[in-house]
Amino acid sequence: AKQLGRNQYRLFDEELDRKFIRRMELERDLSRAVAEGELFVMYQPKWDAQTDRISGAEALMRWQHPVLGLISPGEFIPIAEETGLIVPMTRWMLKDVCLKRQAWQEQGIAPFRVSVNMSIRVFERGMLQEMVNEALSVSGLSPELLELEITETIAMHDLPDKAKQLQSLRKLGVTVSMDDFGTGYSSLGNLDELPIDVLKIDQSFVRQSAVHSKQAIISTIIAIAGHLNLEVVAEGVETSEQIEFLLSRGCAIMQGYYYGKPMEAAAMEKWIDDMAH
């Protein structure tokens, strides 16, 4: 038993070493990823199940590592946030997304908003306003077609400052949505102090929408959105039962694998075309 125990420890050490080495490698390589053109964007549609029309698309970052292959954002975004690389990465992303959305506009595609995830790090040093302005002016995109997805972590420190930054972007016409609502820090307490337009119901609730207690949470979020005059979007929608339930409670906008997985821009164009016919 002692022997086995020691072997298990060794295995555990090796596992830790491997994770540590991978993490160091990713950290080192991520700083070159933007310049080397290794980052790209996938789009996932948001569908209005009431009007049967596309309502929006979320832009999601991907990293094609030259040796390690496709790295998931669940792995590289935390590294980007810890190292501060998320700031130049988001700057690149905003520009790329606005340029693509403007190209779609010129092709005469439906006028849906495209959303970009905003890490809290981007709010530091007043970078957000500058980055959004730059992306809008480079692309010529109308601010009404851009949406920013934030999370409740922005309420953790100096909320008034963040609120001010968001408010000035909203005055421009940019939409702000609260992502993963109900899972983070201080969901309800600060909600009325945050300048937002949309609540996104977290996929953990939607996934379990057959469970009575989760149904109560979903209904409550939809009611709050109604009272505060916010749009509500359900995320992680995978089944027709979930769609039935969400529609019955008054949530019509759906994002999830049921309708479409994140896809590259060209596939998104085809998806929109297919859905229209």
Q: Is 165 in the site for ligand C2E (CB under 6 A)?
A: no
Q: What are phi and psi of 252, to 5 degrees?
A: -105, -20
> Binding ligand C2E by CB under 6 A: which of 256, 265, 268, 271?
256
- Of residues 213 through 252, those in contact with Ca ion by CB under 5 A are 235
Cα atoms in the 13 Å half-sphere on the side-chain side of 24:
6
Q: Is 159 in the site for ligand C2E (CB under 6 A)?
A: no
Q: What are phi and psi of 179, to 5 degrees?
A: -85, 155
The answer to whether 199 touches 181, Cβ cutoff 8 Å, is yes
Q: Which amino acid is at 124?
A: E
Please tell me the total number of residues recorded for the chain in this structure.
Answer: 277
- Residue 69 gets the label, from left (phi > 0), alpha (psi -120 to 50) or beta, of left
Q: Is 69 in the site for ligand C2E (CB under 6 A)?
A: no
> Least distance in Å: CB of 148 to Ca ion?
10
Rounded CA gap, 192 and 229, in Å?
A: 11
Q: Is 55 in the site for ligand C2E (CB under 6 A)?
A: no
Q: Is 180 in the site for ligand C2E (CB under 6 A)?
A: yes
Cα angle 78, 73, 12; round to 5: 65
List, in sequence order, every residue forming a beta bridge with 178; answer none if it has no partner. Answer: 150, 199
> Least distance in Å: CB of 90 to Ca ion?
13
Structure tokens at 141: 């995109």
Please, which residue, 44 or 102, has the CB nearer to ligand C2E?
Answer: 44
Number of residues that bind ligand C2E (CB under 6 A): 21
Rounded CA gap, 79 and 239, in Å?
A: 33
Beta strands in the chain (DSSP E): 39-48, 53-65, 69-71, 113-117, 146-150, 175-181, 198-201, 231-235, 253-255
> Least distance in Å: CB of 180 to ligand C2E?
6
Q: Is 236 in the site for ligand C2E (CB under 6 A)?
A: yes
Please, which residue, 96 or 149, has the CB nearer to Ca ion?
Answer: 149
Q: What are phi and psi of 172, to 5 degrees?
A: -70, -25
Q: Is 179 in the site for Ca ion (CB under 5 A)?
A: yes
> Binding ligand C2E by CB under 6 A: which of 117, 139, 177, 242?
117
Q: Is 257 in the site for ligand C2E (CB under 6 A)?
A: yes
Please, which residue, 182 or 256, has the CB nearer to ligand C2E?
Answer: 256
- Of residues 44 through 103, those in contact with Ca ion by CB under 5 A are none
Q: What is the DSSP string of 244-272?
A: HHHHHTT--EEESTTT---B-HHHHHHHH
Please, which residue, 86 or 253, has the CB nearer to ligand C2E?
Answer: 86
Structure tokens at 123: 């709010």
> Binding ligand C2E by CB under 6 A: which of 49, 114, 262, 265?
262
> Least distance in Å: CB of 105 to Ca ion?
22
Q: Is 115 in the site for ligand C2E (CB under 6 A)?
A: no
Binding residues for ligand C2E, per CB under 6 A?
44, 60-61, 72-74, 77, 86, 93, 117, 119, 179-180, 203, 236-238, 255-257, 262
